[in-house]
Structure formats: structure tokens, C-alpha cells
Amino acid sequence: MIKNHLTIAFRSFLNGKGYSFINVTGLAVGMACAILLFLVIRHETSYDLAQSRLDRIYRVETENIKENHTYPGTYTGMANALRADLPEAETVAPIMQRGGKTMVAGMPATGMPATGVPAAGVPAFRESVVFADNALFRTLDYTWVAGDPARALSQPNAIVLTRGYAEKYFGTVDVLGNTIRMDNKQDLTVTGVVEDYPATTSFPFNMLVSFATVKQVDPGFEENKWNGWNDNFQVFVVLKNDVAPEQLIGRLESVVVKYMGKEALSDKRFKLNHLSEIHYAGNFGGRSANVGLLKTLSVIGALVLLIACFNFINLSTARAFKRAKEVGIRKAIGSNRKALIYQFLTEAGLITFFAGTVALVLSVLLLPVLAAALAIPLAVDDLFTGSTAIFTGFLLLMTTLLAGIYPALRLSGMAPIWALKSNATVRAGQWFSMREGLVVVQFAVSLVLICCAMLIDRQLDFFRNADLGFDKSAIITVGLPDNKPEKLHTLREQLIRSAQIRGVSFSFNSASAESNWMQAMEYREGPKVVQVKTQMKMGDSHYFDTYGIRMLAGEPLKDSDTTRNFRIVVNEIFLGRIGIANPRAAVGQRVYYGDGNEFATIVGVVRNFHVNSLHQKIDPTIIQVVPNNFYQAGIKLQSEKPTSASIQSALADIEKAWTGAFPDQVFEYSFLDETLAQAYQSETRTARLIEAATILAVLIASMGLFGLATFTAEQRTKEIGVRKVLGASVGSVVALLSRDFLKPVVLAILIASPIAWYLMNQWLQNFEFKISVSWWLFAVAGSLMTVIALVTVSFQSLRAAMLDPVRSLRSE
């Protein structure tokens, strides 16, 4: 029987080549989407899950209650506080990441040459390093190639390398005792080598430097600071067995009271976030998975596959009249319904098998493109793993059942007498209603995707063109490995000599940056005390001119504003938080750092500017001169729209001046507008994926509509011939055939528009600054969908209308 079912299935497949092509193509595209999205989702949800202590590892996060926002970073005093006040913690591991370090391999065992300058020809690299202690090795799993995990990071100036980095710097893993010079200051002794980290880790650390080295790198680092934090400093804990994080709420509140004061409880809370969750928030990996995007991808993949299955159902039931006599004869000679169901499911399975083969080929071709678009380390080999094979097998089975079960039940359910009648197709009207409903669903899904793609593109255009309150164009940023005043003075003098450079500013970071310094500030007016969580922007006297930040009152900063009682400039939001309405009235007021006695005097007020991406509100902001925290140079070019030649000339001048000030350092630069655009990578990727899914969904739906139009034209060939003999024009015949297909499209527009409006409004809630959803967007999308349907149907309608009526009347 199996051989018989397969033989008949092959015959049916070959007898309807056009319909088979549409079904195979549609299902192949849908299944390829499902397979590729499975690989993406599997990758993004597998981060850190292989850790042996996974169930007990948590990150301590800082929640600002009033803003309802949680930060991955915390205070530098947190590690010692937890060691002293959290007995439920088995291990406390602080981690601090610093980027932009120039690293040079030293001489084996004896360190660098006596001059302190790397030997000529020794390559230097710009690296990100992580400061940690041995607690890290009791928290995360490392496979050791050489060294002792209990002592590797115990002493100052110790470094542990991954295998890849040991070979990168020394050409071998036998490197214990060798040295690496950091920023031409510290000689770090290699005390360990570990295997390279897996792709699915939130801790891609290649260089681990002992925490005891921090004070030598940054003399201003405070180990027990409680009035400011940075997301680059994070603390992880391994809880003891049978300790649940819910049990520690009181403990963490006690930490707030002990180190920050009872009054801080109203605004501050510390939380424990499980290790498996940190890939979806800020982490050291530099990229986070977007849960909403993953869910969206899952739904889109399912919908594209569903649309393809609907094509199969529609075309199978539409062609049912051609199988009616076959079903009737089979039943008349004794075949039961069960055997017929098996037969039709075999046909569906054969088409699904061919589609699966094509889907695999498409997946191999498209996976590199998708991996590059999403910046995910996926390779073709990932398609040939056990889990992918299981998923693909399950997908083939489900697609066969989803696409084949309804046609099988409908076709096998025909009564023999009715099926053998010559006018059996009259009863097919009920099936047409079902097909019409499926067409509505197909085009409704396509229309929702079109609306979403259009609106996301509009939001991205808003991001690109929004007024940020400062000038982001024609600014090049360069890291500063040394912020000694004499160095910076020399660098500025060299830079401003270039005809291509208008201005130079040294600062902690740019006017807008994802990595920021948060500081608790107080405004005291008699007994009244107002606490404000403030973002610190540290820049020199040229900061405002370079970034085009506009003053509203007072005066800009001076490079001499570095005394103990600082002079500062604040933004309008800060004034609003402390209750001062008039910017001029704020000049001369004092604000205090935390709850201490150190204060700063407001000397100026600037217009609000976006210190963060447009995802977030504008923070209360203070700008002050702190040369010890100048880590970046912002260089404004002369022209707002520089040519390629002028940019290259400016870069040559910048590199020459920078290299002269910092010899033996690695020169790197970036354009500020490109750096800021990276904050919207997730939305950009979402837009590209939805656009691709929209094209596929519309293509599959149009192919199905084309197949139905072909079938309808075949069914009504004689009617068309009669109408033309009686004088009907080609236009009237085309209108007649097209009208029935436009009805479900119009209904799809009415259904899809409110769904798309709701979904887009929900998506826009992720942004503090956003566009509004306009009615014309749905009108444009609906018109586009109507045109696509008309073009699809009109081809077959026109072909049928232009057929010779004599041939039409002979069709039966």
C-alpha cells in the first residue's frame, strides 16, 4: 500500500506541475524561515547555560525606584559590603571592564627592556581588559591550560590570557612568567592561560588583570565608593545551596541602610538577577538579545510558514473537482475513508519532502547573510547538528499535517454518488468560502507586516534626523591613553594647526553616550533637601563649542575650574528636579555631592540635550572640568559636510598629532554620528528582518492567489466564451474575474489595520521619544496590497479574457 500511495502521489505531483511548483516553493520558503529563525533563537537563548553553578549565580543590580529603571552596574563598595554582610553568599566576584588599553608583548620572564619602551617591530594592540580576582574562577567555569586558579590573580600586575591571546602575543601557550606592557606603564606578568571562551557567553574576556592592579592604573579609584556607579563595574555572587534570592530582600535593604542611609530606601534598591537572564540586559559581551525581537521573529516565522500551508490547502481544495471522480470510484470499489486520508497525506508528505530539501538549500545560502545582519556567530555547520535535525524532522511532520490534514479530510469525505455526478463541482461553493477565508488571513498577515515595516522605518528616520540638542555631524572621537595636562596641551596645539579642524575638546565621553557616570547630588535650601540622581559629563572649556551645546544662562566652564569647590554647568532637567524655574536664578546656587560636605557652584545652564539614546529620558546632567577623567578627544572638522578628501586629510593630521603625543600607542578613531547610530542596531535589524519577512509573505500569498486565479480561469473558460460571443468586452471580463478576488483583500485591509495599529503602538512604548501612528500609513499599505493583488489576478484574468471564444466553447 505504501508503494501504491507513493506512486499515485508522484502522478498527482507531475500532473499538476504548476500547482506543485507553487506549493513546493511556498512551503520551502516558509520552512527555510522557520529553520533559520530556530537557529537564531536557539543561539540567543543558550547563553551561559553550560555553567556548572548556573542555578546559584546572580548579578547584583541597582534599581532606581522613582525612575523604574534597573542598571546592571553597581557601587564599587558593593563587593566588600556583600562579603561582610551577606553570609548566604558563597562567593562574591567583582568585575570591572576597561577598554582602549594598548598592550605590547614584553620580553620573556625579564619584562620590558630597561628603557621601558617596547622593542622596535613588536606589534601593539588596542584591547579591552577586565579587572577581577580569583573569585571569578570560583564563579565561572574555566578550563586551565597553565597556571593555578587559586593564586593566578592574587598579586598586583598579574594577567591571565586565553589560549588565542597567548598565541596572538607570543605564538605559544607556554607563556607563564612572560610580560605584557599595558599603556606603556605597567608590566603585567602572565600567571595563567585558559581555554578560549565559548561563543554563547556573556563574559568574552581575553585578558584578565588582577584587581589589585586597579589602583596603579587609576589612582583615583575608590574601592568603597557609595555615591556613584558605572555599568562597567559589576558584582556577581554565588549563593550557597538551598538559598533563594527572595530570602535576601531584607539583607539587601540592610546594605542600603548601612552604607547609604535609611532615607535612600525610598529611591534605591538592589536586586539579584539570575545569570541566565543577563544576556537580555546590559552585559560585558557588548550585545544583548532583545526578548521582544525573539518573540517577534518566532511569530513571523510561524506566520510565513502558515501562509505557505494555506496556499497548499487552498490549491488542494480548489482542485478537488478533478479528484472527485477518482474518490468516487475508489469508494465505490471498496476503499474506506482511512485509506483515502493516508493517500492524500502521502501526497502532502511528498510535496513537503521536496519543499524541505529546497528549504535546506535555501538555509545554507541564506544563513551567512542572516548571521551577518544580526551579528550572530552562526555557521553552516549549525544546520547539521542533532538539535537542528530533530527540529527539521518535527517541522516536516507538522507541515505535512498542517497543510495536508484539511484537504485529506474534505476530499475523503465525499459521498460516492455525489462525487460521481458530472455537476459535482456545484457543491464546491462551500469550499470556496473556506478558501476565501484563508486568502483573507494570508493578506491580513501580509498587510500587518507591511504596516509594521513602514512604521519601523519611519521611527528609524526619526532617530536619524531628531534634534539631539547638540551637533553630532563632522565630529571624530579618539581615545586618550594619557590625560596628563602637558600631553593634552601639546596634542591640542598640534591638532588646531590643521586647516581641516575647527575645534578640539577633551572629555570623559561624548555629549551622548551609552556608557555614563551616575552621581547622587543634593540641593539644600534651608531644611529642605532634594536628592537628584545625576549624570556626570566631564569636559574642558571647549566642550560646549565642539559639540554645539547652547547656553541659556551664566557662562561656560573654564579650564581652571578644577579646585576643590567645583564650578559646574547644569541642564534644564536638573533645574526642574531641584525646583528652580528660571535658569538665571540658578546661577550661583550650590549643590552637594551625595550627602557629604563637598559642593559645586552652578555657573551656567545649558539647553537640554540627549545624553542617552532616544530610548531613554534626558537625565539631569552636570558638566564639570575633571582632567583626571578625560579619556576621549572630540575633534570638530571645519566643514559640516566634509568631502572624502578632506576627511582623509583631517585623519592624517589627527593621527600624526596623536602619535606624536602618544608614541607606541595604537591609534583608533570613530565618527560620532556612526557611534550614536549603533544604539539603534536592534531596531535596524528588526526593520530589515520584518522587511524581508514582508517580501516573503507577500510573495507566497501572491503565488497562492495566482494559482487560484489560474484555477478559476480554467473553471470559467466556457462562461467566458459565452460572454464574449454575446458581446462582452475584454475589460468587463477582466473586471468580472478580478472582482471576486478583491473582496477578501478589502476585508483583509479592514481586519489588519486595527491589529497593526495596536502592535505598533505597543512597540513604540519602548521609546521615550517616538513618532505617532498616522492613518495615512494604513491607507498606503492597503493601496499597495490592493495593487499587488490586482496585478497578480489580472495576468490570468487578461489571459482568459483574450482567449478565442471558439476555443473556449470547445473546452468541455
Q: What beta strand segments (E) does 112-262 contain?
A: 124-132, 144-147, 158-162, 179-182, 186-194, 207-210, 228-230, 233-239
- Identify the top-confidence range among 199-213, 317-331, 586-600: 199-213
Of 208, 282, 290, 291, which is closest to residue 59 (Cα–Cα)? 282
User: Rounded CA gap, 544 and 636, in Å?
Assistant: 11
pLDDT (tens digit per residue) in 532-577: 888 999 999 999 999 999 999 999 888 887 766 688 999 999 999 9
Say yes or no to pLDDT of 637 above 90. yes
pLDDT of residue 11: 66
User: Rounded CA gap, 348 and 399, in Å?
Assistant: 9
pLDDT of residue 804: 61
Q: What beta strand segments (E) does 248-292 contain?
A: 268-274
Residue 110: what are its φ and ψ, rounded to 5°? -90, -5
Contacts of 424 by beta carbon, 8 Å cutoff, 6+ apart: 321, 324, 325, 414, 418
Pick 301 or 710 by higher pLDDT. 301
> Is the CB of residue 447 less than 8 Å from the CB of residue 357?
no
Look-up of cell digits 541597582: 62
User: Rounded CA gap, 544 and 605, in Å?
Assistant: 11
Which residues, in sequence order, are bridge partners of residue 103?
Answer: 125, 182
Neighbours of 737 (CB within 10 A): 22
Neighbours of 626 (CB within 10 A): 19
Say yes or no to pLDDT of 721 above 70. yes
Q: 8-17, 169-178, 277-286, 708-717: which has the minimum mean pLDDT?
A: 8-17
Look-up of cell digits 541564506: 366
pLDDT of residue 90: 93
pLDDT band at 116 (very low <50, low <70, confident <90, very high): very low
User: Rounded CA gap, 385 and 358, in Å?
Assistant: 18
Residue type, 632: Q
Q: pTM of the prediction?
A: 0.76
Residue 523: what are its φ and ψ, rounded to 5°? -110, 125
Contacts of 131 by beta carbon, 8 Å cutoff, 6+ apart: 95, 96, 97, 98, 208, 209, 210, 211, 213, 214
* The dihedral formed by the CA atoms of 785, 787, 789 and 793, expressed in degrees to the nearest 10: 180
Delimit the domains of the chain by residue range.
1-45+289-419, 55-280, 423-465+678-812, 482-664
DSSP symbol at 619:
P
User: Rounded CA gap, 760 and 765, in Å?
Assistant: 9
Say yes or no to pLDDT of 53 above 90. yes
Span 302-317, average pLDDT? 80
User: Rounded CA gap, 160 and 146, in Å?
Assistant: 10
> Is the CB of residue 408 less than 8 Å from the CB of residue 340?
yes
Dig out the grid coordinates for 377 from the structure. 556567530
User: Rounded CA gap, 688 and 20, in Å?
Assistant: 30
Span 65-77, average pLDDT? 84
pLDDT of residue 113: 41
Pick 9 or 32 by higher pLDDT. 32
pLDDT band at 757 (very low <50, low <70, confident <90, very high): very high
Say yes or no to pLDDT of 636 above 90. yes
pLDDT of residue 544: 93
pLDDT of residue 418: 57
User: Rounded CA gap, 258 and 40, in Å?
Assistant: 45
DSSP 116-135: SSPPTT--EEEEEEEEE-GG
User: Rounded CA gap, 59 and 94, in Å?
Assistant: 10
Span 601-626, average pLDDT? 90
User: Rounded CA gap, 812 and 800, in Å?
Assistant: 15
pLDDT (tens digit per residue) in 80-106: 999 999 999 999 999 999 887 889 987
Q: 660-669, 706-715, 755-764: which has the minimum mean pLDDT?
A: 706-715
pLDDT (tens digit per residue) in 395-429: 899 888 877 787 777 766 666 655 555 444 444 44
- Identify the top-confidence range among 52-61, 417-426, 729-738: 52-61
Say yes or no to pLDDT of 337 above 80. no
> Is the CB of residue 773 less than 8 Å from the CB of residue 455?
yes
Neighbours of 387 (CB within 10 A): 12
pLDDT (tens digit per residue) in 677-716: 887 877 787 788 888 888 888 888 887 777 777 766 666 6
